[in-house]
Chains A and B, each alone.
Chain A
Amino acid sequence: MAYGSILNFITFDDPMANPFYPFGGAYNLPFDISYKLWDIIGGIIAWIINLIFPDNGVSQWLISAEVSNAFALIIFMLIIFIVVFVCTLLSLWMERKVLGRLMDRRGTMIGLKGFLQCIADGLKTFMKENTIPKKVDKMTYMWTLSLVIGTSVLIACMVPLSPRWFVVDYGTGLLIIMALFALAPFFILVSGWAQNNKYSLIGGMRAAELMISYEVPILIMIATTCLLAGSFNIGAIVDAQFSSTWFFIPQIIGFITFVFCATAEAERVPFDIAEAEAELVEGWQTEYAGMKWGLIMLAEYFRGYVSCAMIVIMYLGGWLIPFASAEVNGLVPEIVFLLKAWFVFFVMIILRGALARVRTDQIVNIGWKVFMPLSVVNLAIVLVLKIGGIY
């Protein structure tokens, strides 16, 4: 082949026909997109190399099945992250605008109705001096920070947006998300110790206190939902809601309780006691400056997004449109999912605008004396429904 047409290199193969396709039998839209993107990029490179050095091995290597798959996976990761990142920035922007309107002001005003303020803030924090206090335990200080941010980004990326938009199709999806979600308070606790600052220490302790009182009801409610759906798999949970009703109808108690618990899990007002700025300056974040603080803020919004996504998956029918057939549901399930998640986030913003921060003893009180019994009642109701054969 002295001269090959470009169409010999860009073939738009079906990624699922690739023997190294990583998702088994399930179709994956972002992988499809990234596979085809690599097809274009790699194909053009291979074609150009082939023009200069006809019949070389590199061109063939670039468009081989293994290499296509590997590069497609890299692009796939980027796509997944960028989509989640933009969604998070959008929720940040929404918080600023909605909170602004609640408070009788305009919110951010820079570019694209204020959206570019996020970018300005990001640039600002990244260009700040990276100060590290002298007396901190440096290794722990940096590692815990990385782990808090890392786990938050990881779970945010792991949330599937639709049956065709996922990273890994877990059999135990909800449980793994929950496990990673609950890891962050440990790191916050350790980070509070490492910073050698009394405010951080109290903040870290409070994070642990918060986790102890909210993990248990949350896990009970997750178990209840899984019991109702008969599976831990996120896709299966949503499918169960398609075949019956959305789960907030049978477990309305659980839904309301879970909204509050998820708010606490994301450490947002009224449950942001770990960083109560009135008495603890910034709580466990006190000694983090510049870029580190910016990343922590971003991680918090990632966690807020995950909380909302969990509520949507467990109670609001995931990517389903109400009263729509399977065909209609299959059109743009990702957009439907994100709209629902943003709606839940909107409710959280309203809560933030209207409520004050609760005290630590009140949080433990509510957690153990109100939410814990309510989640058990919710479990009992679901058990009755399940035994009665209604679901």
Chain B
Amino acid sequence: MTGEKQNLSIDNGTMDTDKMWVIMGPQHPFSHGLWTLKAQIDGEIVTDAEPIVGYLHRGWEKECENRAYPKIIPMADRLCYAASMTYTHLYCLTVEKALGIEAPEKAKYIRMIGDEICRVQSHLMWLAAVGTDLGNLTVFLWAMREREYFMDLNVRLCGARMTTNFTRIGGVRNDTTDLFDRDVLRCIDRFEKAVWDIIALIDDSSIFVSRMRGTGYLTREQCANLGITGPAMRGTGVDFDVRRDDPYSNYDKVEFEVPVLKDGDSYSRYLVRIEELFQSCKIIKQCVQKVNALGKSAPYRLKVPSKVPAGRAFARIEDPRGESMMYLVADGTDRPYRLKVRSPIFTNVSASKPLVQGSRIADVPVIMAMIDMCLGETDR
């Protein structure tokens, strides 16, 4: 069954069946956030689908045109609450590029630590969501429990659990502390053992696996063409990771692997995300070592001018959910002339029709869970 879409088509013959539109959302347990999937079903099989987004559209990009550069950092936090540091990092990278400066080495490593902590958090929240979508609350609570430890790491690093407001243009807000170094190692050592409970619960259960295997199948070409990015793409056979193939910060100076599976179904996407958890832990450990090797006196923040010279810049990074990009047009004032956010989920959710078409309605939550919806960044 692996690698091939299950044949779920019904030979209707002369039977006349009525198709029915089911509006799933915006208030629906499967839509983790405010969005709607209009699904046309024939019996239990989805024959057509149309995603509807925009419930959370708040004109984020237009708002930014009215704010000074440093004031956009807390707003970037709110793009995606599960991976807030990633977006502040992306924003600061873009502005630094427009300014023509680079953050100090130490700041780069600390930003990477923040990114990877957020990646683990985000993936654990995704794992929790997969549990509820499959009808199991145990996975949900176990994954949320593990996530809490990484939240505590965030607190040690910057004093906040979710919306961190930590990255600054030209560096980060503060240095790491000894307590953070101690806790980060403890937390990761604990996590790398504890997460096996969850993995065993899912992987050893044929019900979990059979619910994921063979659903949401896409070929590599389809996936690339539809613009799906992130773990969903790597589970479909596209061997691409911005961190490795287009490195930013210091990702070219740490060792990690990019898991890629060719099956192209929900299960391979699940496996890719699980492997990414471990790779993120590996990166965090290396970064902590490198930060300590730089010493306490190394600078972690540059002084930057408040006005950005006229010009254009863009940066892209590997979000936990895919490839996100910011494009900045500066006009020499202290406010951006135009700031565009490319959200990975925005494109991924636009591909929901080919993803869910032909599968059963019971599989729709699982397939869409592998996209890992986050509406804050989708609607902006």
Contacts and interface: CB of A to CB of B under 8 A. Distances in A.
Does A touch B (CB under 8 Å) in the complex?
Answer: yes
Interface in A178-223: 198-199, 202
Interface residues of A, number: 27
Given A281-B28, A355-B207, A356-B207, A102 B138 contact: yes
A325 interface: no
Interface stretch (B87-95, B179-187, B356-364): B356-364
A1 to B, nearest CB: 68
A358 interface: yes
A199 B360 contact: no
B201 interface: yes
A105 B362 contact: no
A372 interface: no
A359 B211 contact: yes
Interface string B127-139: 0000111111110
B365 A279 contact: yes
Contacts of A358: 207, 210-211
A273 interface: yes
A99 B137 CA distance: 9
B29 A281 contact: yes
A199 B205 contact: no
Nearest to B6: A361
B142 A103 contact: yes
Contacts, number: 84
Interface residues of B, number: 33
B44 interface: yes
Contacts of B131: 356
Interface string B41-71: 1001000000000000000000000000000
A356 B363 contact: no
B224 interface: no
Contacts of B138: 102-103, 353-354
A279 B361 contact: yes
B141 interface: yes
A97 to B, nearest CB: 14
Interface in B160-219: 201, 205, 207-208, 210-211
A356 B136 contact: yes
B151 interface: no
B37 to A, nearest CB: 10
Interface in A265-294: 269-270, 272-273, 276-279, 281
21 contacts: A102-B138, A103-B138, A104-B145, A198-B22, A272-B135, A273-B362, A276-B135, A277-B29, A277-B135, A278-B132, A279-B365, A281-B28, A353-B138, A355-B136, A356-B136, A356-B211, A357-B134, A357-B211, A358-B210, A361-B44, A362-B211
Interface of B: 8, 20, 22, 24, 28-30, 41, 44, 131-138, 140-142, 145, 201, 205, 207-208, 210-211, 360-365
Interface of A: 99, 102-105, 198-199, 202, 269-270, 272-273, 276-279, 281, 353-362
